[in-house]
C-alpha cells in the first residue's frame, strides 16, 4: 500500500478541509516509535527539521496553522553531555512543570512516551522575556522509567529523534476584558460628567408658593367666577344632593 505523502518542500501540506489533530498516544506510538525503529509511518505528514535552528515564529509551515509538528534530531548542547541544545538565534526554550508519562492502551510494548512542556523565552538566559510560544516535546523511553528514575535521565531514552508540537498559547478572553474594562469605565464616567444634570423645582416649598389673592367684595368674586372651570366629582355631587334637601 502506498504511503500518503503530505510533505512538499519540507512543509506539511494538507488538502482543504483536512486537519491533523493526533492524540499524545498516537504521536508517540504511531509516529515517533515508527520513526525511531524505521517502520512505515501512517502518513508522511511530519517534516524533519532541527528545531533549535529556528525561532518559533520562523518555523516552516503556514502561519495560520494553530499547531505545527516536527521530527527533530537530538542535538547535544555539550560534546560530552546528554543535555539537549534548546538555544535559538533570538532566545531559548525552557522546561516548565513536570514530565508526563504516556502509555499505550493497546498492549504492553515495553516502551512508553514522555511529554515535556517548554516555554520560549526571548533574549539570553536566564534573563529572557517569557513569550506565549509553547512546545510539547515527545520522547520514547523504556519501561524502566519509574518514579525512582528522574524523567530527565537520558539513559532511559530510545533513539535519536524527538517529536515536537509547537503552538502559541491563546490568551483568555477574561484577561483581555480586564485590560480594556478600565478604559471603558473611564469613557463612561467622562460621558456622564458631560451630560447636563436635570434641575428640580420644589413645588412644596413655601417660598416658591405665591400667596393667593384675597377678594373682599362680592362683585369681584362674582366677576372672577366666570373664569373658573368647575370639575365635578362624586363627593361634590353627593354634597350638592344634600343641599337640595
Domain ranges of the chain: 4-56+66-174
Task: Return the DSSP state at 90.
Answer: S
The CATH number given to 4-56+66-174 is 2.170.150.80
Distance from the first to the final alpha carbon of the chain: 119
Q: Which cell is 40 given?
A: 512505515
- Please tell me the predicted confidence (pLDDT) of residue 239: 41
pTM of the full structure: 0.65
- Please tell me the predicted confidence (pLDDT) of residue 171: 74
Full pLDDT tens readout for the chain, 245 residues = 456 777 776 777 777 888 899 999 999 999 999 999 999 999 999 999 999 999 999 999 876 678 999 999 998 888 777 788 999 999 999 999 999 999 998 877 788 999 999 999 999 999 999 999 999 999 999 976 544 445 444 448 899 999 999 999 987 655 555 544 444 444 444 454 454 455 544 545 445 445 555 454 444 443 444 443 444 444 444 444 444 43
- Please tell me the predicted confidence (pLDDT) of residue 46: 95
- Please tell me the predicted confidence (pLDDT) of residue 178: 57
* Cα–Cα distance measured from residue 103 to residue 138, given in angstroms and rounded to the nearest whole number: 12
- Per the CB < 8 A criterion, the answer to whether 202 and 208 are in contact is yes
- Please tell me the predicted confidence (pLDDT) of residue 58: 95
- Please tell me the predicted confidence (pLDDT) of residue 6: 77
Q: What is the CA radius of gyration of the chain?
A: 41
CA nearest neighbour of 132 among 179, 87, 166, 84: 166
Enumerate the β-bridge partners of residue 113: 102, 140
Amino acid at each position: 500500500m502506498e504511503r500518503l505523502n503530505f510533505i512538499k518542500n519540507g512543509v506539511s501540506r494538507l488538502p482543504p478541509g483536512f486537519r491533523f489533530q493526533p492524540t499524545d498516544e498516537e504521536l508517540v506510538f504511531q509516529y515517533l516509535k515508527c520513526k525511531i525503529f524505521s517502520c512505515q509511518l501512517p502518513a508522511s505528514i511530519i517534516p524533519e527539521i532541527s528545531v533549535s535552528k529556528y525561532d518559533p515564529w520562523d518555523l516552516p509551515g503556514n502561519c495560520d496553522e494553530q499547531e505545527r509538528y516536527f521530527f527533530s534530531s537530538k542535538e547535544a548542547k555539550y560534546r560530552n553531555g546528554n543535555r539537549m541544545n534548546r538555544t535559538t538565534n533570538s532566545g531559548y526554550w525552557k522546561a516548565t512543570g513536570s514530565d508526563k508519562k504516556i502509555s499505550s492502551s493497546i498492549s504492553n510494548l515495553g516502551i512508553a512516551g514522555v511529554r515535556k512542556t517548554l516555554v520560549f523565552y526571548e533574549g539570553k538566559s536566564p534573563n529572557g522575556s517569557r513569550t506565549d510560544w509553547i512546545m510539547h516535546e515527545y520522547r520514547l523511553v523504556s519501561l524502566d522509567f519509574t518514579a525512582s528514575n528522574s524523567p530527565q535521565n537520558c539513559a532511559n531514552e530510545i533513539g535519536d529523534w524527538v517529536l515536537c508540537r509547537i503552538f502559541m498559547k491563546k490568551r483568555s478572553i477574561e484577561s483581555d476584558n480586564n485590560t480594556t474594562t478600565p478604559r471603558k469605565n473611564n469613557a463612561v464616567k467622562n460621558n456622564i460628567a458631560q451630560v447636563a444634570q436635570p434641575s428640580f423645582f420644589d413645588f412644596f416649598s413655601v417660598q416658591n408658593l405665591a400667596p393667593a389673592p384675597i377678594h373682599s367684595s362680592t362683585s369681584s368674586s362674582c366677576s372672577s367666577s366666570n373664569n373658573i372651570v368647575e370639575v365635578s366629582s362624586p363627593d361634590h355631587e353627593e354634597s350638592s344632593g344634600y343641599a337640595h334637601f
